[in-house]
Each structure stands twice: as structure tokens, then as C-alpha cells.
Structure 1
Amino acid sequence: MMPTARTLLALLPLAALVFTVFALRPSSQDTRQAVIRAAATVAGVTVVVVELLSLVGWISTWPVIVYWLLFAGVSAFFARRRLRMPERLVLTNWGKVLAGAIGVLVLAELVLALASSPNNFDSNHYHLTKVEHWIADGDLDPYPTIQNQQIILVPGAEYLLLQARLLTGDDSLFNLLQWGASLLGALAISRCATQLGAGRTGQLVAAAVFLTAPAVALESTSTQNDLVVTTWVVCAATLALDGARRVATAGDVLSLAAVAGLTAVTKSTGLMALAPILVFWGICQLRQRRLLRTVGAGLAVIAGMAVLAGPALLRVNEAFGSPLGPPGYSAALSTERKDPPAVLVNGLRLAASTLTTPIPAVNDAINGTVIGIAHLVDVDPNDPKITQWRSVFPGSRWKPDEDRSPYPVQSALILAALAAALVWRRLPPLVRAYAVTALGAFILTAAVVKWQDWGNRLILPAFAVGAPLTGYWADRLKSHRVAATAVIVALAAAFASGGVAVAYGQPRRLVGQGSVFTLSDWEERFVRLPDQAVPYQQAIDEIRASGVRRVGLVMDGDLWEYQFQISLPDVELVAVESVIPTAPPAPISSVQALICAATVERCTQMVPPTWRVHRFSAMVAVAFPS
């Protein structure tokens, strides 16, 4: 196929989604609910289809094209009789200004997403590498590698990226997954605000608080998976709120089961925010005196999680003897203390990190308070049982970087809205109950996720669950001049921080030195490892010139295999080392050359002494038999 035709194939999933929206649209004209249900349906079915294709070794281009043609056709058939214009959206002048500002920010993110090559560190390290392995192998089975994150971590977002890779033939549209997730997340948050009683302006405020967070703005142009899992969590929140006033229908239960399963298969950090939401939904259903029906619905949700996440966890279990991976892996990332003082200190540290500003005095005051409380309750503020081993609290990184960026304005608004909803006397019971649910998401996250330098993005699901409360309070305060002015000032600061993140953030920026419009594709890809760009290219050129067809890889744990995969599509790349018990490495005698992306010492250990080595840097070399 011509490249243009391959790119056009990427419209098939979009067509399937649009048709599914109309097919599932209720008579009540709730378009946002239809979009959420459609997204959950399309993503959930796709995960199941990927698993089924893996069983027969059919993870390749044509089976995926056939799948999307069938999906688009079937969804169009069911949508044809339900095509109706969406309800007209009427906004106040302030609402129009807010909607326009959101539109400008989202459009800027779209430009950046389309203009950027994937260059996130973790994506190059394991997210995208596993996609190439699946295509090369034709299935999802564990393969030999020294980077065990490729095998251990649940792959829901990568299943969706796999579709774009097979349909288009490259990674040019990969960034659009998280960009689309940010829009869906904002839609779900605005609907939650509606369900809590917010008007149009309040709904837009809630969506804006989410979208302007620098961590969200930066990840919306990335191939990470934090926004994807965050979106499934807030979709679960709005679906759970549907169950607050009515007995769940079969469609309600299936949709909730789908988003719960998608959360579980995308990233484990979402489960801490999901659990209180499911408890909230279950209690709401029980209060309507439907015990047996609630039990059945709860089992259906658990079944949905098992169907979507179970196969991936079973593969990890088969490889390591545990669905959590090798011994000690989860302990390195998850808290080892669950006592209340430790959870309190960890939670305060997590919150403090999101509040980091460019003003040292503010940071010192916040961090000093947290450290003081830690000493008061007799907890070491850097206790290794609640701190990731390479991190030291307090962190001081305030600059917009997608891996670490704080979001002080947005975090302050969410925390203030949550606190007010918990202590305000005259408050609708539903709002209070939702606030307790959001608090539960924060507490459970603090009880499980160790504080770390890059924790701000890991706790996005919990903060997103609290975002609808900002819309509720914005609506209640709009008639109070001083409070309304404060909200306007805070929103202006929020948009400024989001805009700066898109314009000047790392590792992708629209303007200034290092803009995506001033770098070559190769330079973009190596923004996180600039010293390796030239050595990698030289090694690739040498392998191409040699004409070899089977090459062994010697990889350092933090270097990237992905660039070799996409640059040498006609070369079979195999690992000559492996930490996967059930996937032994290829013998060096079976390869025609070696690429070493590792230290000189490790390369010397692996390369046979009679082979000639051509070194391009301290970390990159190629070797051939003499």
C-alpha cells in the first residue's frame, strides 16, 4: 500500500467510534454518556480481539484491517436509524470565553502531537518496544529481554497503539492516543460536574482544571499511558454517578465493567482511584434495595476486569510465577508500610510535590510543614518503605516536564474543593458522598504508591476524580463577587501554566530552542538521550551496510531498543541476554552480528574474543565475526 493509503486506514477506528456513539446514544440525548460508552466499547472489544489474534499468531496488518472494517460496518448498520443532531449547547459569555480558551489549548496540543515523534523515555524503553516485538512474533507471548518492564507491566494502552502501528505502518499517529484520552477525560469530568449539580460554566471549569494541568497538557502529546488510565477512571466515576439515583441497567453494568477492565489492563496506578468509585456505586445500588441485583452487577464488573486484564496477568504469572512479576519488583514501587502515620506522611508528600512552584519560599513553607508533621508522628520523611529508592524528599523540580511536572494551581483548586465538600454543613448528600469517594482515592493512592521524583503523573487518576468538585463550587460561588474574582484569577493562572507547558515543556515544545519545528526526526527521538543520537545512527548504518539479516542485541537496562527496531525493519533482532525465566536468549552462535548498547565491560563479556568490534561511543558498538 502507498503511505497515504496506509494513513487513511487510521480513519477506520475513528469511524467505528463515531458510528458506535450514534448506535449507543440514548433517547435522553445524553451525548456525553454515549461517547463514553462508545469509547469503552471500542477499546474493550479491541483488547479482546488483540488477545484472540495472539492465540492464533495473527497479530499483523491484514487481520487488523479486516477487524476494523467489520467493526466500522457493523456499528454503521446499527447507527443508521439513530442518527440525530446533538442538542444545542447554550453558553453564557463567560462560558464562551472559557470554551474558547480550552479550544485554543487543545488545538495547540494537537499541533504538537502531530508534529512530534515519540520521544518519551519510558516509551522508548519499553512501551513502544513491546509493540514491535508483538508484530515481529505475531503474538503477545513473553520474549527474551533484559528489560523486564516490557513483560511485567499491563499493556492496555499498547494494545491501542498496536492498531495505529499496523494500520499506518509507522508511529506517526501514536501521540494522538493520549491526546484523545485527554479530551475524553475532560468530557467525563464535565459530566461528573453536571451530575453533582454544576451548570454549564461549572462543567467547563471542571474540564479546564483537568486540561490545563501541566502534567496533562504535556502527556496529551506523548506515548505514555497515565492519561489513558486516568481517563478510564473518570469514565468509571461518571458511570458510577449514574447509579446514584437509579437502578443500573444492563447497559450501565456493561459500560462500567468495560471501563473497570480497561483501567486494570492499562496501568495499576488507576486501581487505587477505581476501587472507591466501585464501592460508591455498589453502596448506591444497595440503598435502592436491590441486593441480589447489586451482587450480580458487581460480579459482572469483576468479570469484565478479568476478561480484559486476566490474559495479560496470566502471561506474567507464567513467566515469573506471580502476576506481579519477579519477587521484589512490586515492593520497589509500592509502599511497604500501611500504618496511618506512614500513609499520612506519604499522602502529604505526594500532595506537596504537585504544589511545587517556581517560588522557593512557597516550596520551603509547604515542604517544611510536611517534614514537621512527619517528625511529629515519628515517621522518617524519607523512610525507604514509603520512598522510591532513587528519590529524596523534598523534590524541587517545578519546570514543565512530562515525567515530573507539578500542577500547583490545579492541585490547589482540587484540594480546596475537596476540603470544602467534606466540611461544609449544608451540602447535597450526593456531593458529600462523592467527596468522600474522592478522598478515598487519595488515601488509597497514598497507601500504595511510594513517593518518588516522577510521582506527579502517577497520582493523576486520584486528582482527576476530585476535579468535578471544582466545577460544583465554581457554580455555587459565581454570585459572590470576591469568590468569583478569585476563581477567574485562578483559572487565568491555570491556563497560563498549561500554555507554558505546551509552548516550552520537555521533551516536546512548540517554540524556542529545541522546538519540534527546529529538530530533525532523529534529533526529536533522542531529546532524552542526546549523546546517543549519532552513535545509534552510526551503528544502524554499519549494520545496514554489512547486509546481515540476524543480529543479536546486548542492551543496558536504561538504553533503548526501539530505535534499532524501527530503523532496521528487514533485520531480525534477537536478545542474547534475558531475565525472563520462560524465554531463554538466543545463542550468540546463531547471529551474524551484535549490537552493543551497553557499557564496555558488558560488551566485552558478551562479544566472542575472536570477533572484531567497532565502537562508536562508550555505550554503543557493533561486532562481527572475524
Structure 2
Amino acid sequence: VGLMLLLIFLQGIIYPPNNWDSMTYHMGRIASWVGNHSVSFYPTHIIRQLYQPPFAEYAIMHIDLLHRNDHFSNTVQFFFFLGTIVTITSITQQLGLGRAYQSIAAILAATLPEALLQASGTQNDVVVSFFIVTACYFAVRAVKRNQLTYYCFAGLSAGLGLLTKGTAYVYLAPILLLFAIVLLRSAIKYKDYTYITHGFISLLLLISVNVAGYTRNYRFCKNILGLDKKEAKTYSNDRMSLGLLLSAIVKNSSLHLSIDHTGAAAEVVDTAVYKLHSLLGVSLKDSTINYGNMPFTSRAAPTSEDTAPNPLHFILLLASMIVLLVALIKNRLPAAVILLYVTILLEILFFCGYLKWQTWHSRLQVPLFMLSVPLICYAISIKTLYKRLFYIIVPVLLLYALAVVCFNNIRPFKTTTRLTTNVSVFTPRYQKYFAAKPHVYNDYKVVTDKMKQLKLHNIGLITGGDDWVYPLFTHCFSSPFKPVYIQVNNSTKTTGRPEYIDVIVSFKPDAPYIDHGNKRYYKQTKTTFLALYK
């Protein structure tokens, strides 16, 4: 485990941020904040830069500004990964398990494939996982001790989780609901109403962390989450029934049962899912429950941080739920384990019942798998046969995790045609940004070289909703380059004011010239995917 953690840390230093979403909005928004000297909203073609919760990017921005480069951007998720592992072992201890099982918890948390892949990148699922598991930990401590300190940390953890990623609302809802029920029960049982007052303080802290963001979002679109109705509908199920819920659970589960995007295993899983849906009378192509009319498939690249399955952890979780259910029926589970069991069940139901299925849901489920680790440990502790089987699986678990790290799809230590893109640790740093989109590298190199040569400041941008902006501004932490989105025709166009433009970079490079602000800008580069106009 120590070797893997060291490899992940080195991976994050050797490679720059190069995940697709990072190039469009995780790092792209940071370039705008730095250029604007403000985190206020601004006109943009990529609306996700505004409405997505910003905490992880705040942390990355401060580190990059201090170092005047992005060489340590990937370490943010890495250190939150370490914090998550420590917190998971602490929750395991709260369930009454000793050091041996706490060590098992650390191994399970440290070998989750999706977390291993993300821990060397700049997405935010590991960061939000940390805040969700710490909120759970401090909620448990608050109930046991009824000390204000634990309530404060529970509220702050939950608040920072909501400030990090929207999925925190789904995962924290069961935790906060059960927390409130237990506090109310304790207040009535012990006639001690400090449980209520402390809980209220916890809620105030949760809100206070997010009030500035809520206010800014509401002013922008009359919605505290920053989403207009059209945008919100793209993520949430349009309808729901028992059959559709079962469909969602099966589809999400199948993402962890196929460990390759080709081969017999993927074929078997896909066929089984299609047959089950035929029996249910539910269409796998139903756009009301699938994101963006996305066709169903369980096939996933096993070392891609966007889609990697967690097969061994999924099997262990499923087996643990069965073992614990049998123990629950026999009335052999302590209250803390029952509450965590119910929490996991509710999180599964909330996630599948609310969010439209997406092929990259595996990465959004990192918090769920992390929080389930203490349950797996408890199931191992009460079932001898399960414990023996687990010890047999451990070497496979460790070897699989090590392979995932070494063959990381876009940040590999070892390059292969089957699992990784054609990039290596020896590839020039700027070229590494394009591991997921290598065919555009030459065009970006031509445009950025021209930008440096001209010594510019305000760079006008005409982009689509998913274009890579950040590779144009990798030096924004030490140079005056400022992204200015122009010819914006969405709801963000009212958030800024007209600015002088030195040159324009357009991702629609067919035109020989572009008219903007009473000036005509002529194409300066012979490029295909983007072009510079002056």
C-alpha cells in the first residue's frame, strides 16, 4: 500500500493535469479566476465553469499561485485521498473493531481503483469523499459524546462537501437525516435538549460555508444551486417507478462487473442486463432515465479515471450486505452498524432514484464505496468463512490495484496499446496535457507559441461547451494571460462587461477573419482544430 501511495504521488508530480473535464472546466475556471483576480461569475461558453461547486479548485488555485505553476495541482486529491483512508479507519474503530480490522479498512480504502486513478488528477470525487466520510465520522462522535466540537466539525465537513461537488447532496442527505432522527430521539430519551441546540449549530455552520455561493447562484439564475431548469433536467430522472428504480440499480451495478471494454466478460454482463430489462419491460434507451440519450453499456476502460470499475470492492460490498442482513434478522448487530447499513442503502436508493444513468457513474460512486468499507470490515469480523475468503482475495486486491496505478490510462508508468494512451513519463510536459486528446496537440502548440511570441494580455475565446481551454493558459500563474470569452449567447453573457481584446482564439477556425468590437481580426495560424486571429 505504501508503494502504491508513493507511486501515485510521483505520478501526480510527473504528469500535469490532463483529464478531459479538467481541461474544460476544473482547471479552465482557475485560469479565468486568476486572470480576473476574482472568483465572481464571468461570461463563458462553458457554463459548468460557473455552476459546479468550487472548493477543490479553490485549493488547487492557491497551491498553483504559491508555486507559480501547476506542478503540484494533482497533489490536492492525493492528500485528500490520504485523509479519506485515515478517516475510514477511524469509523471502523467507532464500530468497535480492533487494529487488525482497521488495517483491513486501510487496505480496502487504499485499493479502490477509481480512487487510485483520481488521486493523481484534478477532478474532485476524492475530495468530496473525504468530506462525506468525515461528516459521518463526526456525526457518530457527536451522538456518542454530545460535545459541541464534534457537532461543529460535522457541520463544517458537510458544508465543505456541498461546496465541493453536487453529488454530496445525494450522499449527505441520508447521513444528515439519520443524524437528525438520532439527535431528536436522544433529546427526548435523556431530556437533554443540548442535542437539539448543538444540532442547530451544526446546521448553521453547514449553511454558512455555502451562503456566499448560494447567494451568487441565486442572483445569477434564481436557483441557489446555479442550475436553470433545463440544465437540471439533464441530470435528474424525468420519471421514476419501482421498475425504473430496479433498472437504475442494475445498470449502475453492471458498471463494476465488467473489467474490460472488450472480451467475454463485457459481453456476458451486457447480455444479462438486456435480458433482465426485457423481463422488466423497461427500455435501456429510455432518455428519461439515461443522461443525454446515452446508450447503455457496461463496457469500461479499466484504468480510466472516468469509467474504471471497482469489481472486487463491489463483490465484497454485496457479500457484506447479505452477511449483515442475516445478522440483523438474528438481532446480532449493534446500533451503529445498523445505522451505517441503512445509510448505505439510502445512498444507493437516492443515487439511483435521482440521477440519470451515465457511463461514467463509477467515478461518482467513490464516496459510496469508501463509506461502505467499515461495513465490509464488520461483516468480515463476524463471519469466519467470509474472513478466510477475504484473506485469499487480498493478494489479488493488491496486485489489481498496483496494475491500475501503473497502467493509468492518461498518466501511465508503463505504456501499453490496450490500457493506456501513447504517452509516457518521458514525454515533454506540455504534450502530456493532451494524453486524452493527442490529435489536437500540434494545433495547440502552434497557437500557444504564437501567443507567447506576441506577448499578449487579453485573449478572446470563442469555444464550444466542451472545448479544452486550459492548455492555452498553463502559464497563467506566472504570466499576464487572461481568458476573455466573447460572442457568448447563453445566460452568462450578462455577468461581465466588455473588455479590450488583443487576439482571438477560436475553436471554429474555418473563417478567414472574425469581427468583434468594431475591429476585424485575421487568421494567423494554419491550424485545423483552433486558430489564432489578430
TM normalised by structure 1 equals 0.78
Q: Confirm or deny that 1:593 pairs with 2:503.
A: yes
CA contact (8 A) 2:381 2:387 kept: no
Residue matched to 1:75: none
Cα drift, residue 398 of structure 1 = 3.9
Cα distance change on mapping 1:432 and 1:603 into 2, 3 Å = farther
Matched residue of 2:299: which SS?
coil
Give the CA deviation at 1:599.
4.9
State the alpha-carbon separation in 1 of the partners of residues 229 and 515 from structure 2: 27
SS in 2 for 1:506: coil
Report what 1:623 is aligned to: 533
- Residues 365 and 433 of structure 1, relative CA distance in 2, 3 Å threshold: farther
Cα distance in 2, alignment partners of residues 381 and 547 from structure 1: 53
Of residues 347, 352, 358, the one that matches 1:441 is 347
Counterpart of 2:123 in structure 1 is: 224
Number of residues of Structure 1 aligned to a counterpart in Structure 2: 517
* Structure 2 CA distance for partners of 1:245 and 1:367, relative to 1, 3 Å: farther
Q: In structure 2, what is the Cα distance between the partners aligned to 1:327 and 1:606?
A: 31
Distance (Å, rounded) in 1 between the aligned partners of 2:56 and 2:273: 35
The one-letter code matched in structure 2 to 1:165 is D
Is the 1:554–1:576 Cα contact (8 Å) retained in structure 2? yes
The aligned residue for residue 37 of structure 1 is none
Distance of aligned partners of 1:162 and 1:415 in 2 relative to their CA distance in 1, 3 Å threshold: same
The structure 1 residue matched to 2:173, chosen from 275, 296, 304, is 275
How high is the sequence identity, in percent, across the aligned residues? Answer: 22
> Where does residue 234 of structure 1 map in the other structure?
133
SS in 2 for 1:489: helix
Aligned 8 A contact 2:415 2:424 in 1: no
Deviation per CA, 1:576-602, whole angstroms, max 9, x where unpaired? 132304325647xx3232111335269
In the alignment, what sits opposite 1:346?
Answer: 248
Residue aligning to 2:468 = 560
Deviation, 1:562, is 1.4
* Residue 327 (structure 1) aligned to one of 220, 229, 242: 229
> 1:575 is matched with which residue: 481, 485, 498?
485
CA distance in 2, matches of 1:165, 1:547: 22
With over 3 angstroms needed to count, the CA separation of the structure-2 counterparts of 1:577 and 1:323, relative to structure 1, is farther
Counterpart-to-counterpart distance in 2, 1:344 and 1:234 = 26
Are the counterparts in 1 of residues 423 and 435 from structure 2 also a CA contact under 8 Å?
no
What is the aligned counterpart of 1:120 among 13, 19, 25? 19
Q: Distance in 2 between matches of 1:549 and 1:572?
A: 6
Name the residue aligned to 1:292: 193
**Can you list the C-alpha shifts for 1:8-43, whole angstroms capped at 9, x where unaligned?**
xxxxxxxxxxxxxxxxxxxxxxxxxxxxxxxxxxxx
CA contact (8 A) 1:187 1:207 kept: yes
Structure 2 partner of 1:14: none
> In the alignment, which of 118, 137, 145 is matched to residue 44 of structure 2?
145
**Counterparts of 2:159 and 2:484 in 1: how far apart (Å)?**
33
The 2-side partners of 1:166 and 1:280 are apart by: 41
Please state if 1:404 is matched with 2:307.
Answer: yes
Q: Does 1:388 align with 2:294?
A: no
Structure ranking higher on relative contact order (CA contacts 8 Å, 6+ apart): 2
Q: 1:571 to 1:138 in 2, by over 3 A?
A: closer
Letter in 2 for 1:321: K
Q: Distance in 2 between matches of 1:592 and 1:287?
A: 64
CA distance in 1, matches of 2:480, 2:463: 20
Query: Which residues in structure 2 correspond to 1:52-201 (within 5 Å)?
Result: 102-201=1-100
The partner residue of 1:250 within 148, 158, 163 is 148
Give the CA deviation at 1:164: 0.5
Q: Distance in 2 between matches of 1:585 and 1:602?
A: 27
Aligned to 1:266: 164
Distance 1:350 1:585, change over 3 A: farther
Letter in 2 for 1:269: T
Give the alignment of 1:435-474 within 5 angstroms: 435-474=341-380
Q: Is the 8 A contact 2:77 2:118 kept in 1?
A: yes
Report the equivalent of 1:63. Answer: none
Distance 1:186 1:135, change over 3 A: same
| Corresponding residue to 2:112 among 213, 227, 233 | 213
The superposition leaves residues 36-56 of structure 1 with CA deviations (integer Å, 9 ceiling, x where unpaired) of xxxxxxxxxxxxxxxxxxxxx
Residue of 174, 187, 204 corresponding to 1:303: 204
Post-superposition shift, 1:250? 0.7
The answer to whether the 8 A contact 1:114-1:176 is kept is: yes
**Distance apart, 1:179 and its partner CA:** 0.6
1:603 is displaced (CA, Å) by 7.4
Q: What secondary structure, in the 3-state scheme, does the structure 1 residue paired with 2:413 have?
A: coil
Q: Counterpart of 1:345 in structure 2: which amino acid?
A: S
Please tell me the residue identity of whatever aligns with 1:339: S
CA distance in 2, matches of 1:363, 1:372: 14
RMSD: 2.4
Unaligned runs of 5+ in 1: 1-101
Q: Match for 2:397: what amino acid? A: A
